[in-house]
A and B are shown apart, each in its own frame.
Chain A
């Protein structure tokens, strides 16, 4: 069986949820995080595709806790400018986990440009981010743990296969997601 985002998140979720605040991208990433390990420390995006990295950046500037934005190749391509903002303004507690499966998964696995010639890790470096890592499949776990234990900002481009399990939409009201997350942040 191929190693997809679901298998990756299943492997990383315990480490992330116990030790960080998480912004989960719209669509399957949020649904998968909900199914794997729901927690008040997960903020599930139900809209605003492209803004996972930006929401995580704003949060990381406002708390001392480690913040992980789970983003995708299609989403980052929609908001490339934010890589330059991260490169210049992201604090040391920010991690962008860019799950790169080369496809717009939630809309039927249409290919993104990273399945062609585009290299998001190189773009992140060129945007001014110094700690950029590329991993394949389960190799992301050791790198994420290393990043969580050191000063960032960090970007991990985690290469996985496209495809997603069939999951249900998150049965939560956006106000509930907001309030329980906000309460978790402020303790």
Chain B
């Protein structure tokens, strides 16, 4: 039986995703290992989320279907460029975001930013969809298509329960 990470990558690719940039998170560890081993996609680990958004923008201009894989805390580094790059140029970039600070979290300092993630995405104007059940993995994959329709970055928030770590 496939793991959640294997299923998620399979669904993202089935919906056209072929370019990935990532910044690590404990919840994304297996996913990132799978990305690094996958020769059918382009994958680049980056130093910071804003840089990853830039890479995804360039990849889209080059004809790819990009995905950024990141932790919700990274949203703080990326907001200006979500406005002036992602939204201003209407770039369809799928954001796969691990939602730390949700039930299952063991580190208290993750909670304040966790609570702010949805209001921040609302304020910026990024459509987001939150998932707590790995059975919904196909719906997460479909966000790659939805970003093309919406012509803007679209985010999935994946909490501890989604990853089976609740």
Contacts and interface: CB of A to CB of B under 8 A. Distances in A.
Contacts of B21: 58
A41 to B, nearest CB: 11
Secondary structure call for the A interface: helix
Interface stretch (B5-13, B41-49, B105-113): B41-49
Contacts, number: 124
Size class of the A contact interface (CB-based, 8 Å): 20 to 34
Interface in A86-111: 89
Contacts of A55: 54-55, 57-58, 61, 85
A62 B19 CA distance: 9
A62 B58 contact: yes
B101 to A, nearest CB: 24
A62 B47 contact: no
B129 interface: no
A58 B58 contact: yes
Contact of B51 (A47, A60, A79, A185): A79
A156 interface: no
A81 B90 contact: no
Interface string A144-187: 00000000000000000000000000000011011001100110
Contacts of A47: 80-81, 83-85, 88
A186 B88 contact: no
A165 to B, nearest CB: 24
Given A58-B62, A178-B61, A81 B56 contact: no
Most B CB within 10 A of own CB, among A48, A54, A56, A79: A54
A61 interface: yes
Contacts of B52: 54
B85 A48 contact: yes
Contacts of A53: 54
A84 B88 CA distance: 27
Contacts of B44: 57-58, 61, 85, 89
A95 to B, nearest CB: 14
Contacts of B60: 58, 182
Interface in B117-139: none
A43 interface: yes
A82 interface: yes
Contacts of A9: none
Contacts of B84: 46-48
A56 B54 CA distance: 8
B42 A61 contact: yes
B89 A177 contact: yes
A48 B80 contact: yes
A185 B58 CA distance: 11
16 contacts: A48-B84, A50-B50, A51-B54, A51-B81, A53-B54, A54-B46, A54-B53, A58-B61, A59-B59, A60-B62, A62-B42, A79-B51, A174-B90, A177-B89, A178-B61, A178-B89
